[in-house]
Amino acid sequence: MRERTVLELSSLPTFGSGPRSPTWWGTLAFIALEGTGFVLAAATYLYLAYIAPGWPLSAAPPNHWPGTIVTILLVASLVPNHILSGYAKKCEMRPVRIGMLVMTAFGLAPLIVRGFEFPALNIYWDTNAYGSMLWVLLGLHTLHLLTDVGDTIVLAVLMFTHHGNSGRRFADVEDNIFYWYFVVLTWLPLYFLIYWLPRF
Amino acid sequence: MSSADLAPKPEGILDTELDAESLRRRLAETWKTRSGLVGFLSSVDHKVIARRYLITALIFLCLGGLSAVAMRVQLSGPERGLIGPDLYNQLFTMHGVTMMFLFAVPIMQAVGLYLVPLMVGTRNIAFPRLSAFSYWVYLSGGVFVWVSFFLNMGPDIGWFAYVPLSGPEFAPGKRADVWAQMITYTEVSSLAVAVATIVTVLKQRAPGMSLDRIPLFVWAILVTSFVIVFAMPSVMIASSFLILDRLVGTHIFNPAEGGDALIFQHLFWFFGHPEVYIIFLPATGMVSAIVPTFARRPIFGYLALVLSLIAVGILSFGLWVHHMFATGLPKLGASFFTASSMLIAIPNGIQIFCWLATLWSGGPLRLKTPLLFVFGFFFIFVAGGLTGVMLASVPLDLQVHDTYFVVAHFHYVLIGGAVFPLLGATYYWFPKLTGRMMSERLGRWHFWLAFIGFNAAFFPMHIVGLWGMPRRVYTYPVELGWGGINLFITAGALLFFLSFVLFVINLARSARSGEAAGENPWDAGTLEWAVSSPPPNYNFARIPVVAHSEPLWAERGSMPVAAGLRVDAREVLISTVAEAKPDLREKSARPSIWPFFSALSVGGTFLGSIFTPWAVVWGALPIAVSLIGWFWPKGAPEDEE
């Protein structure tokens, strides 16, 4: 077949951020499917709470303080996350490096406090269905927290190597920021379900 | 430092600097899959991965088919002692899980994986390493469940594995765990392909391929991928909860400790009903590709067809409870789901009428094998749809629940609605994959054998179901008088199986010595027919520019193209979501063995978790290492921007 050139592409940029980048859409798709998982797990919890004669089932409500500290840390992390996003968009290396270190710290801190959350639930996973669901919800979120912190650490290291000097890496940083919003925002309803629903 | 300060990157060699011959040579070099074992395990070419998926899915179809034949032989007469109840339970479970999870869904996604990048005019799928990873996970899941079966550890709890039957109390041993982890493998792989497909369709379309110029097959795969994204997490949640109940002693499905068994059914069918459409929608896309080509006109009612696809995708999430009418739901809930189950017949009906209108108003019909299978689809699927409307009615459903009437219904819908179009699609696109035509003569024999065999096997099941024969029984007493009709059904099933033997012979013979096909043997209008058969590893030497929904019909003999991409690095064109305006030149990942290692470590972790929950902890290390290996830049131009 004869080809006829009607369009010139060589002047197009070689990376883009936000919705211009395919990776952003890929991250969004993963957020959608993981978000569906969260919604269905939460729905199961509510379903079991609805059919139960009382909630919590034969246990004292959890001690909310470790969870509340995690919540405060996660919400506070949105500020540096947002600032980092601005620097990543402008491909500014030094502030991005610092920002990645800050976000690593903001990822590790709630993970450490999370270690105190499980005992504060006041029930084990194998005691009854209420205990099972608390552990499942907290576990599901911890898995997300762990993977994102792992990703943040690897990316932070990468930004300190010569590979960081690439527009594509800054787009990666932005995707990491995007996913962190998801990790924080999914926690807020879970925090309510785990710590406050058993008190009503 | 700011963006302006980023070290300048070498521009590389652009296609504008090369003549046609050297352009093709350079691109072939850049996009090639290396030979040798490492090359084999590292391939990220969507065509190579899709071919592997197709062949693997066909092998699973064969295994699923053989398990059906074994069951039919056992049921061919009353009180036969060929297969005992335990093996029979494993066989119908293996048949169900194989056909649904290892054949139907993967093969539909694989056809999409092969064709979508070609149809939208790009060089590779988005996230090619993710697609490679998905194949290895799928393969290990399939091998895992079949090896378990041969070790007498095959699941025996039905393809939907209801609790409490599948729970720790009533299913000791590892069989139910095998079911639960098989779900995890296959759903992870399916979700990965769905994400890659969505992003390819949204962001990698050729310039000018606005939303109203996307081929209907691509629309169908896009909607299917969205349905996968929102449906599959549900079955993963269900199977994960099940395995937690079984292995670490949670009580989510245990009513004695505040859990509930019915929530399992809700979670399963919230996935399970959309699953039917995950299989059916790509098939409708295949019909929408075949019909215009053989009717010699653009499809009638493009917009109506797109909207129907989307409507079916959305409505498919509102029907799940009709699988649970026999569980004693509140009356109002049952009525709602009756109404929604009937509602979905409307967009499906619109599709059928649009295809008929296209065939009616086109040029003289070319009645080739692909179209024969489409006619078979019309006949069988409409019959299945009608019994579907019957089953949506609660009183009738309660009468025939768990009888062969239901077995007949869903085989009419699934085989008629998905397998017949898939067979038609095989005859239609085989020339593109292999460069050779399939035999028409064998194709016609195949069609008539399949059509007669299918109806002979499944139509009488309606009758025996209405007589009261329950499904999932390994035998029945002589006095019930079901022997004659069951013998007839078995004869039909063997005929149907024989049609597939003929199909495989046709595939093998045509691949070796079929007539040469050329670029566009059917004179079709969509972009996959613009490239040679089989397509070169880079798909398009220059990216096509699209101004029509059937670009090859709009301008014959010549094609408007875009120039200015690199040839010494894998570069694809990224366009805007709605209008497909050129936006970026992005790099596409090079081959890598790390997706294979990642799949190994993920698969090993799933396997180990059946035996000890600590496997998840120990597995985390190899998973982390292989993922870092996957994403860490290796200094290739594709790793930079």
Name the strand (E) or helix (H) holding B572.
strand B571-575
Contact B631 A91 (CB under 8 A): no
What pLDDT sits at residue B338?
Answer: 87
- Which one, of B151, B120, B124, B108, lies nearest residue B31 by Cα? B124
What pLDDT sits at residue A200?
Answer: 81
Contact B584 A15 (CB under 8 A): yes
Q: Where are the domains of chain B?
A: 39-639
- Closest-CA residue in chain B for A153? B628
Q: List the domains of chain A with CATH numbers.
A: 65-199 (1.20.120.80)
What pLDDT sits at residue B527?
Answer: 97
What pLDDT sits at residue B329?
Answer: 82
What pLDDT sits at residue B116?
Answer: 98
A–B: how many Cβ contacts below 8 A? 220
Picking from A25, A27, A28, A40 by the largest number of B CB atoms within 10 A of its own CB, the best residue to mutate is: A40
Ranges of chain B whose pLDDT falls below 50: 1-2, 4-5
Residues of A in contact with B233 (CB under 8 A): 33-34, 36-37, 40
Beta bridge partners, B515, equal none
- Which one, of B115, B125, B292, lies nearest residue B192 by Cα? B125
DSSP string covering B331-359? HHHHHHHHHHHHHTHHHHHHHHHHHHHHH
Chain B from 606 to 625: CB within 8 A of any A CB: 624
Instruction: Judge whether A1 is closer than 8 Å to chain B, CB to CB.
Output: yes
Contact B14 A10 (CB under 8 A): yes
Q: Could you give phi then psi for residue B612, rounded to 5 degrees?
A: -155, 135
Q: Please, are residues B386 and B352 in contact by the beta-carbon 8 Å criterion?
A: no
Instruction: Judge whether A129 is closer than 8 Å to chain B, CB to CB.
Output: yes
Contact A29 B541 (CB under 8 A): no
Both structure tokens of B469: 């024969």
Q: How many CB atoms lie within 10 A of CB B348?
A: 20
Contact A5 B562 (CB under 8 A): yes
- Which one, of B209, B127, B196, B198, lies nearest residue B578 by Cα? B209
Instruction: Judge whether A200 is closer than 8 Å to chain B, CB to CB.
Output: no
DSSP string covering B295-314? HTSPPTTHHHHHHHHHHHHH
Give the ipTM. 0.96
Ranges of chain A whose pLDDT falls below 70: none
Residues of A in contact with B6 (CB under 8 A): 91, 165-167
Instruction: Judge whether A165 is closer than 8 Å to chain B, CB to CB.
Output: yes
Both structure tokens of A109: 């801190």
- Closest-CA residue in chain B for A94? B1
Both structure tokens of B284: 């409708």
Contact A5 B248 (CB under 8 A): no
Instruction: Judge whether A112 is closer than 8 Å to chain B, CB to CB.
Output: no
What pLDDT sits at residue B2?
Answer: 47
Q: How many CB atoms lie within 10 A of CB B454?
A: 23
User: CA angle B125-B130-B134, nearest 5°?
Assistant: 110
CA distance B329 to B325: 7
DSSP B35: -
CA distance B42 to B35: 10
The domain made up of B39-639 is a member of CATH 1.20.210.10: yes
Instruction: Judge whether B75 is closer than 8 Å to chain A, CB to CB.
Output: no
Contact A12 B631 (CB under 8 A): no
Residues of B in contact with A94 (CB under 8 A): 1
DSSP string covering A45-78? HHHHHHHSSSSSSSSPPPP-HHHHHHHHHHHHHH
Q: How far does CA B347 lie from the centroid of its chain?
A: 21
Rg, Å, chain A Cα set = 21
Q: Please, are residues B48 and B33 in contact by the beta-carbon 8 Å criterion?
A: yes
Locus of tokens 């978000």: A35
List of residues 6+ apart from B325 with CB closer than 8 A: B334, B337, B394, B397, B398, B401
List of residues 6+ apart from B148 with CB closer than 8 A: B154, B155, B174, B175, B178
CA distance B107 to B55: 9
CA distance B631 to B641: 14
Angle subtended by helix axes B440-466 and B404-411, to nearest 10? 150
Give me the residue from B237, B560, B574 closest to A6, CB to CB.
Answer: B560
**How close is the nearest chain B Cα to the Cα of A1, in Å?**
5
Chain B from 221 to 250: CB within 8 A of any A CB: 229-230, 232-234, 236-237, 241, 244-245, 248-250
Amino acid at A192: F
What pLDDT sits at residue B8?
Answer: 53
Contact B574 A129 (CB under 8 A): no
What pLDDT sits at residue B1?
Answer: 42
**How close is the nearest chain B Cα to the Cα of A82, in Å?**
18
In chain A, what percentage of residues exceed pLDDT 90? 91
Cα dihedral across residues B399, B405, B409, B411: positive or negative: positive
